Amino acid sequence: MSDYLATGFTGCDRAADPDVFVRCLRYLAAAPGMRAIKDESLAWLGLVPGDAALDLGCGLGGEAAAMAVRVAPSGLAVGLDASRVMLARAAADAGKTAVRPVFVAGDGAYLPFAGGVFAGCRVERTLQHVPVPGAVLAEMARVTRPGGAVVAVEPDWGAFVVDSSHTAVARRLAEFWCDSFRCGWIGRGLGRLLAEAGLEEIEVVGRSLTLRQLAAAEAVYSLSDTADRAVAAGALPQGAAGSFLAELRRRDAAGTFFSSLTFFLARGRKLRT
Ligand SMILES: C[S@@+](CC[C@H](N)C(=O)[O-])C[C@H]1O[C@@H](n2cnc3c(N)ncnc32)[C@H](O)[C@@H]1O
């Protein structure tokens, strides 16, 4: 299985180096702009003590842990993920604190829960990797109780920009990266997909994450790896990719590197049974 960030999250357990994926998640979880997006999506769930809540594709479990605090002392937060590597790290991070989530292995398209049990279900940066996002959202709608909320947070890789004077190369690289995802345009479709899953009172907002250091952008957007892959695939000439990357390094040294990605937060409510 590939260690490429655009494709490897569908099978982290089979990666040559699962730490590539763990590092990416830790980097983003610590980025101030991303923290604000995560916190807004947690607030959108409207959880109160005693609720049951699900974070699907929980990764390292940070948001499942935050949900556990919101529903304590009598509620239950569940973090579900397809990767046993991620779940092991999540359980280790949660430690032995009194308020912690329960972690469950599973596929978001076939949730191992009865219908109508969760007051709130959340998914972040996972629908971009699955073959049929609508099937996962339909499952989230099924396990949400009437009156409960389904919240999704996904990027739209068509809204990823890097400041460069090599406009044609930057455009081609962004397109190559976007098209490497199973669902690179998932962000713009979230509201429609929630409605198609039978949810109502749909709200969608866009939030951008700016990264102004090349090291951060490399950790989460794989710029050099993507350039190599685009060259190997014949999508870019070698020299053009080299000049593009060299300019990014110069700008980074001068403190003027700039990249931005738009995330969309979407919420739907289950009104009918
Ligand atoms: C980009 S990570 C995001 C993790 C976490 N939501 C976060 O915000 O840090 C995507 C996660 O989805 C998980 N995943 C991928 N396909 C899945 C599926 N079909 N069902 C459940 N989890 C899945 C991966 O193992 C990974 O932990």
What string of DSSP letters covers 171-207? Answer: HHHHHHHHHHSTTTTHHHHHHHHHHHTT-EEEEEEEE
Give residue 14's pLDDT band: very low, low, confident or very high (50, 70, 90).
Answer: confident
pLDDT above 90 for 1: no
CA of 11 to the centre of ligand 1 (A): 9
CA of 211 to the centre of ligand 1 (A): 22
Residue 41 has pLDDT above 60, yes or no: yes
> 252 CB under 6 A from ligand 1?
no
Tell whether 106 is covered by a domain: yes
Atom number, ligand 1, closest to the C-alpha of residue 9: 24
Q: Is residue 233 part of a domain?
A: no
Q: Tens of pLDDT along 58-89?
A: 999 999 999 999 999 999 999 999 999 999 99
> Which amino acid belongs to residue 138?
A
**Does the Cβ of 70 fall within 6 Å of ligand 1?**
no
The domain that holds 202 is classified in CATH as 3.40.50.150
Quote the domain boundaries for residue 127.
8-156+183-209+263-269
Quote the ligand 1 centre to 111 CA distance (angstroms).
14
* Ligand 1 mutation target, pool 126, 130, 136, 220, most atoms within 8 A of CB: 126
79 in Cβ contact with 102 (< 8 Å): yes
Instruction: Categorize the per-residue pLDDT at 273 as very low, low, confident or very high, splitting at 50, 70 and 90.
Output: low
Q: What is the pLDDT of residue 96?
A: 75
Question: Does 111 map to a domain?
Answer: yes
Cis preceding-peptide flag for 49 (omega within 30 of 0) = no
Residue nearest atom 12 in ligand 1 by C-alpha distance: 57
Q: Is 257 in the pocket of ligand 1 (CB under 6 A)?
A: no
The number of residues making up the chain comes to: 273
| Residue 249 within a domain | no
CA distance 210 to 258: 7
Q: Which atom of ligand 1 is nearest to the CA of 12?
A: 25
Mean of the per-residue pLDDT values for the chain? 95
Is 205 part of any domain? yes
Residues 6+ apart with CB under 8 A from 250: none
The distance of Cα 29 from the centroid of its chain, to the nearest Å, equals: 10
Enumerate the β-bridge partners of residue 208.
262
125 lies in some domain:
yes
Confidence of residue 98 (pLDDT cuts 50, 70, 90): confident
Q: How far apart are alpha carbons 117 and 149 in whole angstroms?
A: 12
CB-CB contact of 160 with 237 (8 Å): no
Which pTM does this prediction carry? 0.96
| Residue 63 domain-assigned (yes or no) | yes
Number of domains in the chain: 1
Q: Is the CB of 37 under 6 A from ligand 1?
A: no
In a domain, 222, yes or no: no
